[in-house]
Amino acid sequence: MGLGDLSTILKATEIEQLPDFIEAHRVDERAGVLSLVAKAKKRLVAHQAEIDRTEHMKRYEREYSDFGAICGIDEVGRGPLAGPVVAGAVILPKECQILYLNDSKQLSEKRREELYDIIMAEALAVGIGYASPERIDEINILNATYEAMRAAIGQLTVVPDLLLNDAVTIPQVAIRQVPIISGDAKSISIAAASIVAKVTRDRLMVQYDELFPEYGFAAHKGYGVPVHIEAIREWGPTPIHRRCFIKNFI
């Protein structure tokens, strides 16, 4: 079989079939085939490393495994000048096998979108909460964040027994909470909530971009980058701008 054909086969080979590919071609002494076998081995090593990393991110879920439904909570959008703050609440299965879960900021947009679909399909329950720019102006960003988190919990179709939160303790919630600093990089449940919140908010900002194309919301998602600040100064604020965040620009 030619090297081109083998290369095509390798690209289409699933992780589970890589050992068979390696075994079938390990004695072929052609330099090109040896290179392909090395690539297959490298993929296997990387895959195992991801399994190990993900297993390490389950340590809080294992620590609190006596609790029935463990829910991860995280928010996205505390810092932008425009748009809502969005919170995610996710209850994953006890034996969750989803790989690549991580702090949403550490993932590419493509990976986040892929994981969002997997999470929505495999999670036992997902809740999403919002606090509008008007609400942020009214009660401040911290209280609006708590409000969005409570709304996300309220959207769950399964009542959680424990909340794993990214760094905060949410007021007015009776469920036991465990705040974890940088939790979206340490807990698969919080990471899943981070991804759900990030993808939800990003998609919403893309829709706002269609309504207000002068501001570039699809690119910067409402954060205070120079081009956004200049647009505010030139065009003035939109209805989705947080007045308490932009008072120095208008």
What DSSP string describes 96-133? ----S---GGGS-HHHHHHHHHHHHHH-SEEEEEEE-H
Instruction: Please give the span between the terminal C-alpha atoms of the chain, in angstroms, as a whole number.
Output: 68
Instruction: Show the domains of the chain with their CATH numbers.
Output: 3-56 (no CATH), 67-243 (3.30.420.10)
189-243 pLDDT, tens digit each: 999 999 999 999 999 999 999 999 999 999 999 999 999 999 999 999 999 999 9
For residues 56, 57, 60 and 65, what is the CA-based torsion angle, rounded to 10 degrees? -80
- Write down the pLDDT at residue 11: 76
Q: Specify the residue for token string 């083998």.
A: 6
> Which range, of 17-21, 78-82, 145-149, averages the lowest pLDDT?
17-21
84-123 pLDDT, tens digit each: 999 999 999 999 999 999 999 999 999 999 999 999 999 9
142-191 pLDDT, tens digit each: 999 999 999 999 999 999 999 999 999 999 999 999 999 999 999 999 99
CB within 8 A of 81, min separation 6: which ones? 222, 223, 224, 228, 229, 232, 241, 242, 245, 246, 249
What pTM does this model have? 0.90
Instruction: Dig out the tokens for 60 from the structure.
Output: 């809080």
Is the Cα dihedral 161, 66, 86, 172 positive or negative?
positive
